[in-house]
Amino acid sequence: MQDSSEDHGSEREATAQFVLNLRGRGIGDLDVLRAMESIARRHFVPHHYRDLANRDLAIPISCGQTMPAPWLAARMAEALDLTGRERVLEIGTGSGYVTAILARLAGHVVSIERYQSLTLAAQARLAHLHIANAEVHWADGLALTGATGSFDRVIIHAVIVGAPSAFLPLMKQGGRMMFARNIASHGLQPWQRLVALSRNGAGETEELDICGCHLTALTPGKSAEL
């Protein structure tokens, strides 16, 4: 039987390599790297994919959804430019992996998930990791009202066509919103780009191209699928 100290040593080595791989992909924000190091992805990966947890791969989860590759999760967190004080709205909790990373980098995270089973699973994972500054709600991300409050940052794990008008009233002046756009179509695969939309004090918006990605369209309504 393998000694527990050997197990811990192997885990430390795997984590160190995981962070080195992120640095090799261009992630340079030390706070983001520390957050990625502190949140073990294996806690969020389905059991039958556990051996892929430290690989830079997107991984299927239940309800036909996918958790992003670590590099993309880190790039999104980096581009949100978090200082530790922000109130963040996340649309599309999924496994809760990105939620946990954002919670390490921001003041408070409100995450919305349309699938009930994913909501409950993400809540349980965050509780297990003692992450108290993130809350996950089963709701329609496109039907949020002012009662939700306003946010310094908004991250939407989906493609939006046109202006993200449903979310602009929820974003504070000087805030930033991240989502994907379909730029063009090459054959059967759309060419997508992750963009960050900033809103200045005058209410004017400006988009900044971040990187390529592959996300699905934002779906209205909430599902009771278990």
Predicted confidence at residue 35, as pLDDT, reads 96
Q: What is the CB neighbour count within 10 angstroms for residue 112?
A: 23
Secondary structure (3-state) at 85: coil
pLDDT on residue 1: 46
Residues of the chain under the 50 pLDDT cut: 1
CA distances to 104, 118, 119, 220 from 126, in Å: 11, 12, 11, 25
The structural domains of the chain, ordered by start, are 4-213 (3.40.50.150)
Which residues sit opposite 193 in a β-bridge?
Answer: 181, 212
Interatomic CA distance for residues 216 and 46, integer angstroms = 20
Which 8-state DSSP code applies to residue 165? Answer: T
pLDDT value at residue 48: 93
Distance in angstroms (rounded) separating the CA atoms of residues 90 and 30? 22
Per-residue pLDDT tens for 202-225? 777 888 889 988 888 888 777 755
Q: What are the pLDDT digits (tens) for 149-184?
A: 899 999 999 988 877 888 888 999 889 999 998 876
